[in-house]
Amino acid sequence: MDPIKIEGTPKTPTVEFDATSGKIEIKGRSIPENSIEFYKPLVDWLDQYAENPSTKTEVNIQLEYFNTSSSKCILDVFKKLEVVHKANKEVVINWFYEEDDEDMLEAGEDYQSILKIPFKMVEIED
Protein backbone atom coordinates (compact mmCIF):
# COMPACT_ATOMS: atom_id res chain seq x y z
CA MET A 1 0.00 0.00 0.00
CA ASP A 2 1.32 3.40 -0.92
CA PRO A 3 1.65 5.90 1.91
CA ILE A 4 -0.23 9.19 1.76
CA LYS A 5 1.72 12.40 2.25
CA ILE A 6 -0.03 15.74 1.90
CA GLU A 7 1.73 19.00 2.68
CA GLY A 8 -0.33 21.28 4.88
CA THR A 9 -1.65 24.63 3.69
CA PRO A 10 -3.27 27.46 5.68
CA LYS A 11 -6.60 25.66 5.12
CA THR A 12 -5.66 21.98 5.09
CA PRO A 13 -3.67 19.83 7.51
CA THR A 14 -0.42 18.00 6.91
CA VAL A 15 -1.29 14.34 6.49
CA GLU A 16 0.99 11.29 6.70
CA PHE A 17 -0.48 7.80 6.53
CA ASP A 18 2.00 4.93 6.42
CA ALA A 19 0.71 1.35 6.37
CA THR A 20 4.15 -0.20 6.89
CA SER A 21 4.85 1.57 10.18
CA GLY A 22 1.18 1.83 11.17
CA LYS A 23 1.63 5.57 11.75
CA ILE A 24 -1.16 7.97 10.90
CA GLU A 25 -0.76 11.71 11.45
CA ILE A 26 -2.99 14.71 10.85
CA LYS A 27 -1.55 18.08 11.95
CA GLY A 28 -2.38 21.73 11.47
CA ARG A 29 -5.60 23.48 10.49
CA SER A 30 -8.54 21.77 8.83
CA ILE A 31 -10.82 24.29 7.14
CA PRO A 32 -10.81 23.07 3.53
CA GLU A 33 -13.28 24.46 1.00
CA ASN A 34 -14.69 20.96 0.63
CA SER A 35 -13.97 18.71 3.61
CA ILE A 36 -15.54 15.62 2.08
CA GLU A 37 -13.37 15.95 -1.02
CA PHE A 38 -10.24 16.45 1.12
CA TYR A 39 -10.90 13.53 3.50
CA LYS A 40 -12.34 11.01 1.00
CA PRO A 41 -8.92 9.66 -0.15
CA LEU A 42 -7.93 9.26 3.53
CA VAL A 43 -11.10 7.34 4.38
CA ASP A 44 -10.69 5.19 1.24
CA TRP A 45 -7.04 4.48 2.19
CA LEU A 46 -8.18 3.41 5.68
CA ASP A 47 -10.76 1.06 4.14
CA GLN A 48 -7.92 -0.65 2.32
CA TYR A 49 -5.64 -0.49 5.37
CA ALA A 50 -8.31 -2.18 7.53
CA GLU A 51 -8.06 -5.29 5.32
CA ASN A 52 -4.44 -5.83 6.35
CA PRO A 53 -3.50 -3.47 9.19
CA SER A 54 -0.24 -3.23 11.03
CA THR A 55 -0.13 -5.02 14.41
CA LYS A 56 -0.12 -1.60 16.07
CA THR A 57 -1.61 1.55 14.61
CA GLU A 58 -0.54 4.81 16.21
CA VAL A 59 -2.65 7.83 15.32
CA ASN A 60 -1.41 11.34 16.10
CA ILE A 61 -3.95 14.11 15.73
CA GLN A 62 -2.57 17.58 16.37
CA LEU A 63 -4.99 20.14 15.05
CA GLU A 64 -4.91 23.83 15.91
CA TYR A 65 -8.41 24.30 14.57
CA PHE A 66 -11.01 22.46 12.50
CA ASN A 67 -14.42 23.48 11.21
CA THR A 68 -17.72 21.63 11.61
CA SER A 69 -17.58 19.85 8.27
CA SER A 70 -14.04 18.65 9.06
CA SER A 71 -15.22 17.29 12.43
CA LYS A 72 -17.64 14.93 10.66
CA CYS A 73 -14.88 13.78 8.29
CA ILE A 74 -12.47 13.25 11.20
CA LEU A 75 -15.15 11.10 12.84
CA ASP A 76 -15.33 9.06 9.61
CA VAL A 77 -11.54 8.54 9.83
CA PHE A 78 -11.89 7.37 13.45
CA LYS A 79 -14.75 5.01 12.54
CA LYS A 80 -12.50 3.29 9.99
CA LEU A 81 -9.86 2.93 12.71
CA GLU A 82 -12.51 1.46 15.00
CA VAL A 83 -12.92 -1.36 12.46
CA VAL A 84 -9.18 -2.06 12.77
CA HIS A 85 -9.46 -1.99 16.57
CA LYS A 86 -12.41 -4.41 16.51
CA ALA A 87 -10.27 -6.82 14.48
CA ASN A 88 -8.14 -7.22 17.63
CA LYS A 89 -5.34 -4.99 16.40
CA GLU A 90 -3.84 -2.37 18.68
CA VAL A 91 -4.96 1.16 17.85
CA VAL A 92 -3.99 4.16 19.95
CA ILE A 93 -5.15 7.67 19.20
CA ASN A 94 -3.00 10.47 20.61
CA TRP A 95 -5.07 13.65 20.68
CA PHE A 96 -2.76 16.63 21.09
CA TYR A 97 -4.06 19.93 22.42
CA GLU A 98 -2.45 23.15 23.61
CA GLU A 99 -2.36 23.66 27.35
CA ASP A 100 -4.90 26.51 27.26
CA ASP A 101 -7.10 25.19 24.44
CA GLU A 102 -10.18 23.90 26.25
CA ASP A 103 -12.14 23.59 22.98
CA MET A 104 -9.64 21.20 21.43
CA LEU A 105 -9.47 19.12 24.63
CA GLU A 106 -13.28 18.96 24.68
CA ALA A 107 -13.40 17.96 21.01
CA GLY A 108 -11.02 15.07 21.75
CA GLU A 109 -13.14 14.02 24.73
CA ASP A 110 -16.26 14.13 22.55
CA TYR A 111 -14.66 11.77 20.01
CA GLN A 112 -13.44 9.57 22.86
CA SER A 113 -17.00 9.25 24.21
CA ILE A 114 -18.36 8.21 20.80
CA LEU A 115 -15.67 5.70 19.87
CA LYS A 116 -14.46 2.43 21.29
CA ILE A 117 -10.76 3.07 20.73
CA PRO A 118 -8.19 3.97 23.37
CA PHE A 119 -7.57 7.74 23.38
CA LYS A 120 -4.67 9.51 25.02
CA MET A 121 -5.09 13.22 25.67
CA VAL A 122 -1.64 14.76 25.23
CA GLU A 123 -1.13 18.29 26.49
CA ILE A 124 1.39 20.42 24.62
CA GLU A 125 3.14 22.94 26.82
CA ASP A 126 3.43 26.40 25.29
Q: Considering its fold, how many domains does the chain have in total?
A: 1
Alpha helix ranges (H) inside the chain: 35-51, 68-86, 102-114
Phi/psi for 10 (5° steps) reads: -60, -20
Q: Per-residue pLDDT tens for 95-106? A: 999 999 999 999
Collapse the DSSP code of 19 into the 3-class scheme (helix H, G, I; strand E, B; otherwise coil) and give the result: coil
Q: Per-residue pLDDT tens for 36-75? A: 999 999 999 999 999 999 999 999 999 999 999 999 999 9
pLDDT tier for residue 125 given thresholds of 50, 70 and 90: confident
The boundaries of the domain holding residue 68 are 4-124
Question: What CATH number does the domain containing 10 carry?
Answer: 3.30.750
Q: Per-residue pLDDT tens for 2-25? A: 999 999 999 999 999 999 999 999
